[in-house]
Structure 1
Amino acid sequence: MKKLLFVMSLLLLFVVSCGGKKAADSNVIKIGVIAPLTGDVAQYGVAVKNGVQLKVDELNAAGGINGKKIELVVADSKGESQEAVNIFKKMVSQDKVNLVIGEVISSASIAVSELAQKAKVPMITASGTALDITKGKDYVFRTTFTDPFQGTAVAKYAKTKGIKKIAVLTNTSSDYSLGLAEAFKKQATQDGITIVEEKYTKDDKDFKSILTKIKGQNPEALYIPDYYNTNGLIATQANELGFKIPYLGGDGWDGIQTNFGKVAEGTIFSSQFAPDDTDPTVVKFIKDYKTKFNSNPLVFAALGYDTVTVVENAIKNSKDLSGESIRTAMAATKGLPLVTGTFQFDADRNPNKKVTFIEVKGGKLTLKEKL
């Protein structure tokens, strides 16, 4: 009898413990964050993660969302698509996340988006710009604008400055570079701008040959749609060859000021965030970010922060925490006061927002204008 009572007591304790655990879990919102925290584009991934963390900490300090605390499940993709896919599968099957923020770069975001759509797990990328990330996937969103959107915007900007001939340097190994280059060339050609193009791959480090060829064609500007580390190498070598023309680019230039500020002087690139913007929302974000991380935020940090604001709004307006309910509520996002600008989603869940043009001046990123 004593043994029986002992066994029954253990069973009761087990049931109560399981019940308690379930109740605790019901008061938690699990958000997966997939980002390159190491590797060539770690600067972007860390920035997004920090922006996400800052906003989540603010929300949790204020009681969470609808009384539920947020738990982040963060994993390093190293910027590799297969690694991002493996992480997503684990987050869904083992961690049981309610939604995923990520990935950070376009190629990995495309890979994860296919799985998110099949699993019906809401996914929102803070910074993946390739058009194919969200296209045809109603469970996939983005906070940043798309490659075609910013590529077109920079071409229009060039026209307003009276530039007649532009050289384009395209990285054929990068979905990001290809997307921006294609949109830029299309719009520039429509606007009567002459385009000359040279191509390279991710393995190239010596650009002097193609830069010499470009210099011989006398362009008035050089459009380089790539990430800051490669842009820095190209700008360094172009300067060594005596280039005196302005460089143009996309938001991948953000971060250039860290190691290549001097050689990138005068560069104009499309973005959604300027460190010297006087908008109160931007000023507060920068102040809070510096306090927490003791560093200046990149646009990717601002986008990470805004992404959680979008998630917060969706969950507040969702009937429950099911993927379908969160997706429906997120699609209705409109008019939120965000660091990177107020927007609403279009039919493909891409934000319509203004473009902020940044100039590298004195080794720092400065607000040029908003269009």
Structure 2
Amino acid sequence: MKKILFLMSMMALFVMSCGSKKVDSNVIKVGVIAPLTGNVAQYGVATVNGFKLKVKEINAAGGINGKKIEIVEADSKGDTQEAVNIFKKMVSQDKIDVLVGEVISKPSLAIAPLAEQAKIPMITATGTAFDITKDKNFVFRTTYTDPYQGQAVAKYAKSKGFNNVTILTNSTSDYSVGLADAFKAQAQKEGIQIKEEKYTADDKDFRAVLTKVKGYNSNMIFVPDYYNTIGLILTQAKELGINSQFMGGDGWDGIQTNFGKVANGAIFASQFASDDSSEIAKKFINSYKTEYKLDPIMFAALGYDTGTILETSLKSVKDLSSKEAIRDAIKNFSGDNLLTGSLKFDENRNPEKKVTFIEVKDGKLTLKEKF
């Protein structure tokens, strides 16, 4: 009987050791979940590249209070269930201390309550849906929210004399609907006349809806969506001879890769311009180009800034094994040494920032103005 009990206990220990990894007290494990392949891979790769660049600099300078940051990275492919499964594994097996991710709003919304329940401090560098952080003390974001930028674009439109606007909304995208709703609410306050047409994520031929839009003779068309869909819309709008001013939100970043020509003259809300002449931006741009042989887009800058937020916050934590202490340190972060502008978290753990407006010129993103 004793022999049987001994064998059973040894088997249990074996199963437990296989099910999780040993915690290394000499490192700070940061889980990074992002779409590295798929339709929005350009966002994910840029965000992760920016974060990795900052972590490389942190570790080269001695780490955080003598501990190096170890990145546990995984590709969500932009799929919500995949992102959830990855997060659960990172918590149960990889034993992460902090999560950086997700990159887009839908999987971020799914992971956020799980991070709150597990008490894992989470920072999404780029997830903009308002409810990601709402009522979640462990969840933060580096970017501004959908309502914040939607309101900003409406104010900007009014300041530039655009009083007759058509909105093209992807009714199946939380991101698109969030920006559209915020734009409409602010536009009403600004006295802007609004018309709205909708499409879905499955649509590829927009000629019918664009023909209706052309008939409205709006002097501005607001399209809050991601760059790959916007590229198709702009291509077909050009074929139909639509010459209105096109504007959008930060999901346009990336439009220059394949659709720079048809996007020429378009303006969108952002937080970073690759032709920013400030010293901090120039240093980052040079380092990023050296490391990746690419020009950084806004998502790379937000990834890098997320690393800066973590560095500053973690250095102030005496007990890095305490998730609550890490959470409180992030909550108290404030700084003006960020690429995307000075940042201090509000009561919902969201930042308030100036909105940078970008214009597409000759296939490149150029700084229009900060608003």
Q: What is the TM-score when the length of structure 2 is the normalising length? A: 0.93
The one-letter code sitting in structure 1 at the alignment partner of 2:222 is Y
Q: Is the 8 A contact 2:23 2:95 kept in 1?
A: no
Which moves more between the two structures, 308-317 or 41-50?
Answer: 308-317
Q: Deviations over 1:74-129 (max 9, x none)?
A: 00001111111000000000000001000000011000001001111000000000
| Equivalent in the alignment of 2:10 | none
5+ residue gaps, structure 2, are 1-16
Which moves more between the two structures, 213-222 or 318-327?
Answer: 318-327
Distance 2:317 2:31 in 1: 18
The 1:193/1:61 distance shift into structure 2, 3 A limit, reads same
Q: Kindly, what percent of the aligned residue pairs are identical?
A: 66
| Equivalent in the alignment of 1:216 | 215
Distance 1:24 1:288 in 2: 32
Shift of 1:47: 0.4
| Equivalent in the alignment of 1:365 | 365
| Equivalent in the alignment of 1:171 | 170
Distance 1:82 1:24 in 2: 26
Distance 2:68 2:159 in 1: 48
Shift of 1:164: 1.1
Pair 1:34 & 2:28 matched: no
| Equivalent in the alignment of 2:355 | 355
User: What are the equivalent positions in structure 2 for 1:175-214 lying under 5 Å apart?
Assistant: 175-214=174-213
Distance 2:219 2:318 in 1: 55
Segments ≥4 residues shifted beyond 3 Å: none
Q: RMSD between aligned alpha carbons?
A: 1.2
Secondary structure at 2:368 match in 1: strand
Pair 1:237 & 2:273 matched: no
Secondary structure at 2:290 match in 1: helix
Q: Deviations over 1:287-333 (max 9, x none)?
A: 00000000001100000000011111111112322210100010001
Q: Is the 8 A contact 2:129 2:178 kept in 1?
A: yes
Distance 1:156 1:355 in 2: 11
Q: Is the 8 A contact 2:264 2:363 kept in 1?
A: yes
Shift of 1:362: 1.1
Secondary structure at 1:351 match in 2: coil
Distance 2:163 2:339 in 1: 34
User: What are the equivalent positions in structure 2 for 1:1-12 lying under 5 Å apart?
Assistant: none
Distance 1:222 1:242 in 2: 14
Distance 1:130 1:23 in 2: 35
Which moves more between the two structures, 200-209 or 318-327?
Answer: 318-327
Distance 1:367 1:23 in 2: 48
Q: Deviations over 1:146-196 (max 9, x none)?
A: 000000000000000111110101011111101100000111111110111
Secondary structure at 1:242 match in 2: coil
5+ residue gaps, structure 1, are 1-17
The one-letter code sitting in structure 2 at the alignment partner of 1:369 is E
Aligned residues: 351
| Equivalent in the alignment of 1:334 | 334
Q: What is the TM-score when the length of structure 1 is the normalising length? A: 0.93
Distance 1:350 1:119 in 2: 21
| Equivalent in the alignment of 2:43 | 44
| Equivalent in the alignment of 2:75 | 76
| Equivalent in the alignment of 1:54 | 53
Shift of 1:336: 3.9
| Equivalent in the alignment of 2:144 | 145
| Equivalent in the alignment of 2:101 | 102
The 1:24/1:209 distance shift into structure 2, 3 A limit, reads closer
